[in-house]
């Protein structure tokens, strides 16, 4: 392949270098475009054809359904690693030794206290507040209680901010759920593993000793790994662009939580269960919902289906679908909604509309079925997605900051009114 691209405008030719990554993805480097052409830029709503950065964290191939974190296949990590190991891998680029992992976990435990005044913010929310809005607010509030974690330039200062977030975020996730359920807050235990401690803070009953159920912890650990990063998706791009103004880690993550909330993104896992429940209430009439999804006049979309990048099976959906069967069987849970989901998937994969558009189940299609079997309320599903994604957000924020990338500021093509004279209100 040539090492440059040539753009011809009005008989003038411009050369731009080609950038090729380690997986042979190629991009046209247009950093000089506006300068050499006297102001011409590109236009790409939704950035469907635009790369925002070079990154060494996550590789995915949408055509082949491949997902790797730092070169390791998601299938291997989901089966063989823990969520805390994957967190370390995403952030620092290597799987940790036992000693590195133990120190990382100890540093996190040291920071697991959340300022008592944050509870006053939590108390200020109505019980009806959506947990994603509560979580975004509490995460942003961490800045007020940890001002030293904002202007971080050195690797050490960044490490301290990252460890604070990894320590306090599970507490905020658990407190968000307890607020919803009007339950007393739980502070966890340093004697437990990272995911076990999250589960204890979410579910422990004040009147009962907490017992670890390995089936539940293994399922939760695997789900968190599968959500941990996904290159430059909507919420990660949000974290990067907010972080590029040097607003600080907690503010950047809070913005990412808000972006993830949308039903077209992380909010889809809640929308999937609501859709499947709707079909169940409707007597399991999947054909009616398939018709709605294909009807251009109907805004309804088959939630949990389709993906900006995957034009093949989302590898995470494959793993979660298999895990759903295993977890429900081990927990002795019958959920008719799982059968409806499988029926819907089968119909869609045989339907020309979906096949032609390469619409397959994505990560959100089956995840809610496991969350529900684990006793997690449906409004908390996207919060669990955020809990899983925090390591990826942190890793991407750190990569952007260490590379000292410029503040993100896209251009536009103005299509509004041209210059016109002001009219006094009496003349309007
Ligand atoms: C996540 O980017 C990431 O990596 C995200 C994520 C991550 O880990 O961070 O993977 C997590 O967000 C997964 C996606 C969760 N969202 C949903 O499940 C919501 C339902 N899916 C869609 O809204 C949609 O598929 C998107 C938003 C996921 C992707 O939309 P695109 O890439 O902008 O595609 P599009 O809207 O241009 O659709 C192309 C065609 C259109 O039809 P035509 O105009 O060509 O006739 O496919 C149709 C769409 O109408 N289509 C669907 C559909 N998804 C796309 N039709 C019915 N149901 C759907 N779900």
* Contact 239 CB / ligand 1 (< 6 Å): no
Do the beta carbons of residue 16 and residue 4 sit within 8 Å? Answer: yes
Ligand 1 mean position, distance from CA 211 (Å): 40
182-213: buried (b, 16+ CB within 10 Å) or exposed (e) per residue?
ebeebebeeebbbbbbbbbbbbbeeeeebeee
Taking a C-beta distance cutoff of 8 angstroms, is the pair 179, 122 a contact?
A: yes
Task: Confirm or reject: Cβ of 374 under 6 Å from ligand 1.
Answer: no
Q: Is the CB of 305 under 6 A from ligand 1?
A: yes
Structure confidence at residue 35 (pLDDT):
97
Enter the tokens of residue 33: 């475009």
- Distance in Å, CA 44 to ligand 1 centroid: 17
If phi > 0 it is left, if psi is from -120 to 50 it is alpha, else beta; for residue 97 that is: beta
In whole angstroms, give the CA distance from residue 215 to residue 134. 29
Q: Which ligand 1 atom is the nearest neighbour of the CA of 265?
A: 12
Would you tell me how many other CB atoms lie within 10 Å of the CB of residue 255? Answer: 22
Q: Ligand 1 within 6 A of 392 CB?
A: no
For residue 118 the two structure tokens come to 């944050």
Mean pLDDT by 10 residues, the chain (428 residues): 92 97 97 97 97 98 95 98 98 98 98 96 96 98 93 93 98 96 92 97 93 94 98 98 96 98 94 94 90 94 93 93 92 91 92 94 93 94 98 98 96 97 97
- What is the pLDDT at residue 53? 98
Distance in angstroms (rounded) separating the CA atoms of residues 230 and 67: 8
Is 40 near ligand 1, meaning CB less than 6 Å away? no
The pLDDT of residue 1: 78
Q: What does the pLDDT read at residue 285? A: 87
86 Cα: distance to centroid of ligand 1 (angstroms): 27
Best probe residue, ligand 1, of 300, 306, 368 (max atoms within 8 Å of C-beta): 306
Query: Is position 339 annotated as part of the catalytic site?
Result: no
Asked about 105 being catalytic, the answer comes back as no
pTM of the predicted model over 0.85: yes
């Amino acid at each position: 392949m040539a090492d440059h691209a040539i753009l011809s405008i009005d008989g003038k030719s411009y050369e731009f270098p080609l950038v090729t990554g380690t997986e042979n993805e190629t991009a046209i480097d247009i950093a000089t475009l506006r300068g050499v052409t006297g102001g011409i830029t590109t236009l790409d709503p939704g950035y469907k054809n635009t790369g925002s950065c070079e990154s060494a964290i996550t590789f995915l191939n949408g055509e082949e359904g491949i997902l790797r974190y730092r070169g390791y296949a998601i299938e291997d990590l989901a089966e063989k690693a823990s969520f805390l190991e994957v967190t370390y891998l995403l952030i620092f680029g290597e799987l940790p030794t036992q000693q590195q992992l133990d120190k990382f976990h100890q540093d996190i435990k040291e920071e697991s206290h959340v300022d008592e005044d944050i509870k006053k913010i939590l108390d200020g929310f109505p019980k009806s507040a959506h947990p994603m809005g509560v979580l975004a607010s509490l995460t942003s509030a961490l800045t007020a209680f940890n001002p030293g974690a904002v202007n971080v330039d050195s690797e050490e200062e960044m490490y301290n901010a990252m460890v604070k977030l990894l320590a306090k975020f599970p507490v905020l996730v658990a407190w968000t759920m307890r607020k919803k359920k009007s339950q007393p807050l739980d502070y966890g235990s340093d004697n437990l593993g990272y995911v076990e401690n999250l589960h204890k803070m979410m579910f422990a009953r004040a009147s009962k000793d907490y017992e670890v159920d390995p089936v539940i912890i293994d399922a939760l650990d695997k789900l968190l790994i599968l959500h941990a990063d996904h290159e430059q998706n909507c919420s990660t791009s949000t974290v990067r662009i907010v972080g590029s103004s040097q607003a600080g880690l907690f503010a950047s993550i809070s913005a990412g939580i808000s972006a993830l909330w949308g039903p077209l993104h992380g909010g889809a896992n809640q929308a999937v269960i609501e859709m499947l429940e709707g079909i169940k209430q409707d007597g399991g009439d999947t054909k009616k919902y398939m018709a709605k999804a294909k009807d251009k006049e109907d805004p309804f979309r088959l939630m949990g289906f389709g993906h900006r990048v995957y034009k093949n099976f989302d590898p995470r959906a494959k793993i979660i679908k298999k895990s759903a069967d295993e977890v429900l069987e081990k927990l002795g849970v019958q959920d008719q909604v799982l059968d409806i989901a499988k029926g819907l998937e089968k119909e869609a994969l045989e339907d020309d509309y979906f096949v032609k558009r390469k619409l397959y189940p994505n990560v959100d299609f089956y995840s809610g079925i496991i969350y529900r079997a684990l006793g997690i309320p449906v409004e908390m599903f996207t919060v669990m997605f955020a809990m899983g994604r925090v390591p990826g957000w942190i890793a991407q924020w750190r990569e952007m900051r260490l590379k000292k990338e410029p503040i993100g500021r896209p251009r536009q093509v103005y299509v509004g009114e041209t210059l016109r004279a002001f009219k006094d209100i009496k003349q309007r």
